[in-house]
């Protein structure tokens, strides 16, 4: 079981046209990384995600809730948004069979379906509620703050639907809150109504919380091996003990993206797994990287790379054209998988047709792997920065390791960029304007600022 990171194609020796990170840039980056590593280590007590892989108490309380629910429900409905939803979605897609929710109970080994409402689009909510039998459904309400507008709106709607479907005592038993131990509206309701509640430790923010009950509870409920997930993450955390770029994959990922951005103007950074189960992992990474690093520095300057998700081989017929010939402003990090399940040979039919004959006897996994290597080589041949994370298999251990790699890399990158990776002040203004328009108490200042904004100008509307 390994996660290896090959960054040859980020370096000057491998890239055409004089592109690439030079050896002196790389050795200077080692000094910067030592400082970033020390900064992260010095904040260890306030960075709860670092100890999640070995937090036995949190795991035990999560498994107790999951065990208690075993066999009682056909469906789990998770309400949440942002970091409270993307991790559970990524885990389901990566670690459960394709189209999990479409399988029947025996194909799901008796585990429930998992639906994640990560938005407040009435069409989606109405569709899900019309299809679910709430008497067979466990509702997880996941919100660190316990008051996020979208999640609260989802909760109010689903809570009402539960009240219509069953008596009050049972309705309360069909809900689990995952939230801050002390603050927020959910915590208040939990106290008042005796709702089962799991804690998100106060020192863990949404996008760093996938290995807390936020991700572990839904994962355990649908039969994912959460101990293996944590073991993979623990292994990556162990590898990150070192401040040597030679042995710390999270460090090297952060440093290379930072050098590529700040010294080579490669500010657009794609994550491109060559595996359908990792499609949503790329979306989870995008939120982690974007919301953590897109910030104003203390000196007023702006920082932050722009992450984008991609999928191989699908995006070879889409974004790869841009990656190959568009502006020299991107990096691409591939995820390659060596051991694939259900990887049988492509039939040798039509062996008289040259356009098909060469495929016969190869496997689809081989085709994907060759296409990934070919794309990496083609990008390098055009001076395009790229690197490859190699994993042996798509299983809980490797996915846990990858997620912890990206979380650690984000923490290091925050320090390298000189920003606080753990807050999100940029989303506050829009949120406050929305609160003002919705009439939430305490929004007077936002209302005044909103009212002072220029109004839509009819000249600029068609």
Which residues of this protein are in contact with ligand PA5, per CB under 6 A?
81-84, 143-145, 148, 151, 205-207, 291, 424
Closest residue to ligand PA5, judged by C-beta, is 206
163 closest CA partner among 152, 153, 175: 175
CA pair distance 124, 425, nearest whole angstrom: 29
Which pair of tokens denotes residue 109? Answer: 């080994």
CA pair distance 73, 66, nearest whole angstrom: 11
User: Cβ of residue 421: shortest distance to ligand PA5, in angstroms?
Assistant: 10
How many CB atoms sit inside 10 A of residue 243's CB? Answer: 18
User: Cβ of residue 202: shortest distance to ligand PA5, in angstroms?
Assistant: 12
User: Cβ of residue 268: shortest distance to ligand PA5, in angstroms?
Assistant: 21
Find the farthest-apart pair of alpha carbons in the chain and give their distance in angstroms, rounded: 75
Q: Which is nearer to ligand PA5, 19 or 424 (CB)?
A: 424
Q: Which is nearer to ligand PA5, 9 or 145 (CB)?
A: 145
Q: Which is nearer to ligand PA5, 294 or 383 (CB)?
A: 294
Candidates 291, 295, 330, 398; catalytic one: 291
User: Cβ of residue 128: shortest distance to ligand PA5, in angstroms?
Assistant: 19
84 closest CA partner among 187, 206, 177: 206
Which pair of tokens denotes residue 435? Answer: 């609160």
Taking each helix axis as running N to C, give the angle between helix 396-417 and helix 279-293, from 0 to 180 degrees, rounded to the nearest 10: 20
User: Cβ of residue 410: shortest distance to ligand PA5, in angstroms?
Assistant: 11
Candidates 31, 56, 302, 317; catalytic one: 317
∠ CA 23-24-29, nearest 5°, is 95
31 counts as catalytic: no
Q: Which is nearer to ligand PA5, 180 or 261 (CB)?
A: 180
264 counts as catalytic: no
Residue ranges of the alpha helices (H) in 166-248? 168-173, 185-193, 213-221, 226-239
Q: Which is nearer to ligand PA5, 404 or 424 (CB)?
A: 424
37 counts as catalytic: no
Candidates 41, 371, 431, 449; catalytic one: 431
Are 389 and 331 in contact, with CB atoms under 8 Å apart? no
Cite the active site residues: 291, 317, 431
């Amino acid at each position: 079981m390994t996660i290896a990171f090959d960054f040859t194609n980020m370096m000057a020796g491998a890239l055409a046209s004089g592109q690439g990170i030079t050896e002196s840039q790389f050795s200077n980056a080692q000094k910067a990384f030592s400082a970033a590593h020390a900064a992260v280590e010095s904040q260890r007590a306030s960075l709860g995600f670092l100890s999640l892989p070995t937090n036995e108490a949190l795991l035990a309380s999560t498994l107790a809730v999951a065990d208690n629910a075993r066999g009682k429900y056909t469906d789990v409905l998770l309400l949440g948004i942002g970091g409270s939803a993307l991790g559970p979605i990524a885990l389901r897609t990566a670690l459960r069979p394709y189209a999990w929710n479409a399988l029947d109970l025996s194909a799901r080994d008796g585990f429930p379906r998992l639906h994640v409402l990560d938005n407040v689009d009435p069409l989606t909510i109405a569709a899900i509620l019309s299809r679910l039998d709430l008497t067979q459904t466990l509702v997880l309400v996941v919100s660190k703050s316990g008051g996020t507008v979208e999640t609260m709106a989802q909760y109010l709607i689903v809570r009402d639907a539960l009240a219509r479907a069953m008596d009050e005592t049972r309705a309360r038993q069909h809900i689990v809150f995952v939230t801050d131990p002390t603050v927020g509206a959910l915590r208040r309701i939990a106290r008042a109504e005796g709702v089962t509640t799991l804690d998100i430790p106060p020192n863990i923010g949404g996008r760093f919380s996938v290995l807390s009950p936020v991700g572990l509870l839904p994962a355990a409920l649908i039969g994912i091996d959460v101990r293996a997930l944590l073991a993979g993450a623990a292994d990556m955390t162990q590898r990150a003990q070192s401040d040597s770029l030679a042995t710390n994959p999270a460090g090297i990922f952060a440093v290379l993206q930072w050098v590529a951005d700040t010294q080579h103007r490669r500010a657009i950074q794609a994550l491109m797994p060559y595996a359908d189960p990792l499609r949503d992992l790329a979306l989870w990474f995008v939120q982690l990287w974007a919301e953590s690093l897109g910030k104003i520095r203390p000196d007023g300057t702006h920082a932050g790379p722009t992450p984008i998700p991609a999928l191989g081989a699908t995006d070879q017929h889409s974004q790869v054209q841009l990656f190959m010939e568009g502006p020299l402003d991107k990096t691409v990090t591939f995820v390659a998988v060596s051991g694939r399940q259900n990887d049988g040979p492509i039939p040798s039919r039509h062996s008289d047709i040259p356009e098909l004959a060469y495929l016969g006897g190869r496997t689809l996994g081989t085709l994907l792997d060759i296409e990934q290597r070919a794309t990496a080589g083609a990008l390098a041949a055009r001076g395009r920065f790229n690197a490859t994370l190699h994993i042996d298999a798509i299983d809980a251990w490797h996915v846990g390791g990858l997620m912890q790699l990206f979380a650690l890399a984000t923490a290091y990158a925050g320090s390298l960029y000189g920003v606080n990776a753990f807050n999100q002040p940029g989303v506050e203004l829009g949120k406050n304007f929305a609160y003002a328009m919705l009439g939430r108490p305490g929004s007077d200042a936002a209302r005044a600022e909103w009212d002072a904004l220029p109004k839509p100008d009819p000249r600029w509307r068609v």
